Chains A and B, each alone.
Chain A
Amino acid sequence: MNAASDADTLPKLAVWKFASCDGCQLSLLDCEDDLLTVAGRVHIALFPEATRAVSEGPYQLSLVEGSITTEHDRQRIQEIRAQSEFLVTIGACATAGGIQALKNFADVDEFIRQVYAHPEYISSLADSTAIADHVPVDFELRGCPINKHQLLEVISAYLGRRRPLVSPEAVCLECKRAGTVCVMVAHGTPCLGPITHAGCGALCPRYDRGCFGCYGPKDLPNPASLAGWLGSELGVRSDELRRLLRNFNANADAFRQESLRHDPD
């Protein structure tokens, strides 16, 4: 098959960017061993980080990175949804608002004044929000950053017309299966593993540190129970708990609600 007929018959993949660090879309380029194979199975119709070639929509599979932080982007995501058959968010920014959602807990005008000499030049919404807060999303891939093997699984699942095999279980389960010693039990290190979504391979405990929640809340988490235990058994203070929950998934509902309980009165 020549290139022209490929472009006609393969499903069109588009990669879109909103407020983010580019790391999750870079994960696609980091699939060094598989990138050219993927490129043979889909028509990369729009991926500005990788190519200046652009094909018109509609797109069969849209991967969306980044969170909504400007009025312009709030409108742009509507247009993207309208021309996408399947829309998948990739990463904590698109799925939960990202680290930049820390401004949701602060006065955004004050933030602008702290960083920019001329606040009047800056246009920014008061909050940073997930894509699903604006449009229907077909699948959310978690992580800060996403796991590139899970990204390949999502693309393969799309091509095979099946659900992606991405478990919503806790990091703890990955940790146990890896045979890693529990850092909370053995070293008294605070760890968000019991309430955090799996996907990283329980990386931090393997490196002798506690989970800090890159993948956001797992399915049906109980953060109040974990926070109580961290406070009573490990002596973790309220301000420390608040900071631990307010990272890359600060605006994910379960983490946000729990962190607000630890705000000073």
Chain B
Amino acid sequence: MTPTEDGTRTIQVDTLARVEGEGALYLRIEQGQLADLAFRIFEPPRFFEAFLRGRHMGEAPDITARICGICPVAYQMSAVHAIEQACGVALGPELRALRRLLYCGEWIESHGLHVYMLHAPDFLGYAGAVEMARDHRGLVELGLKLKKAGNDIVTLLGGREIHPINVRLGGFYRIPETARFAELCEQLKWAREAAETTVRTVADFDFPDFEQDYEFVALSHPDEYPMNEGRIVSSRGLDIDVTQWPDWFEEEHVERSNALHCRRRDGGHYMVGPLARYALNHARLGERARAAAAAAGLEPVCRNPFRSIIVRAVEMVEACDEAIRILEDFTPPEQPFVEVPARAGTGHAATEAPRGLLYHRYVIDDEGLIQEAQIVPPTSQNQGQIEDDLRAFVAPRLALDDDTLQWQCEQSIRNYDPCISCATHFLRLDVERT
């Protein structure tokens, strides 16, 4: 806090909290100017892409789920879609609807966790949700109950909330008991109202005046707010089939990080996640979500990453609404799954994890053994943009005292709900001032 004799100021925080995984931020400030900034990922590498080689394609949804305890469904969905594409198999509407329902559950659970437990404490000035509950018990209880509604969907369809066991190539091992659908539907009607309340609550938070000219990248689907399917589009005119991801994007390995950074091959960093999905798919939102957004003063395109908390709340309204619709219209499929016969080839898929686009590619042989796997999580894709945001955000705020600056930088990273477990995981913050 107090400058040393030569003007050096150093802040060190060993653990950046309320993110999933282990990362660090390094800031060096010389003579009042930002000299260096790096968002690092220290999470020890776990080598999923290497040990998927030689595994049977049917094991991919169970193995890739273990990349992330927060969004295992996203990994399962990208894996099954990519492998089904390689094998030339498409699912009927009933199974497709069930997969979408499962994904709705994960969005509600993951967004509920982030909005209430990880992000809201920043805006209200608490170290975490447990501390926040001392003064705002009702708020935290509402958040936990909302999150539980999402987890209850995942548990009903998937068997358990973390690393569900019921997802397989071609569909599900077993169709869930429809007897419980009516009860779940009632619970989700409560959750939809709770999500609408959440939109109003978080819209009243104070937001820093900060906007960036992002290139947003997300899936886009003609008929629905995107989850499992769609084309990859961007706010700068990109519109490609999912199979073309490698032609347009690349991963680079930088020294400071155990995660690979992504960029557009012909351009720079970009943003995936709720802000991108919302900006590119506003017209696909259902009436209730759109009404909630409008009432909260959220424009169809939002470029302030701190306001992503409102967008997550809007997406919870949408996910509850969609889950209710699926449950009410549900027709059981004839079979819980369609056969996926192995054939040699390459399959690609991208789905919308709660944190953004999740791309998988598999090369399969004719016995169904995986020859090659590529997995590009949303946090890898956002990593460059997170650094760009920090540079732009910090520059005019260097006069802030160290504690305030540090907290605001952490908040700026948490805007992205980074899942560092996914991107490889210890967020540590070092600020050095000379």
Contact = CB atoms under 8 A, between A and B. Distances in A.
Given A52-B18, A200-B160, A247-B63, A22 B49 contact: no
A21 B47 contact: no
Nearest to A204: B165
A171 B426 CA distance: 35
A98 B165 CA distance: 17
Contacts of A50: 17-18, 117, 128-130
A49 B159 CA distance: 25
Interface stretch (B54-62, B204-212, B213-221, B347-355): B54-62
B66 A99 contact: yes
Contact of A208 (B17, B70, B144, B173): B173
Contact of A23 (B55, B56, B70): B70
Contacts of B18: 48-52
A145 B160 CA distance: 9
Interface residues of A, number: 63
A2 B434 CA distance: 41
Given A206-B159, A214-B163, A117 B63 contact: no
Contacts of B15: 48, 52, 54
Contacts, number: 190
Given A23-B69, A99-B66, A122 B45 contact: yes
A21 B134 contact: no
A116 B45 contact: yes
Nearest to A34: B144
Interface residues of B, number: 70
Interface in A90-133: 98-100, 102-103, 106, 110-112, 114-118, 121-122, 124
B44 interface: yes
B425 interface: yes
Contacts of B425: 17, 19-20, 22
Contact of A32 (B62, B133, B148): B148
A22 B117 contact: no
A251 interface: no
A63 interface: no
B340 interface: no
Contacts of A212: 62
B401 to A, nearest CB: 17
B121 to A, nearest CB: 8
Interface string A231-246: 0000000001001000
7 contacts: A21-B421, A22-B70, A44-B128, A115-B47, A204-B159, A206-B159, A207-B165
Given A19-B43, A214-B163, 5 more contacts: A3-B134, A19-B46, A36-B140, A50-B128, A212-B62
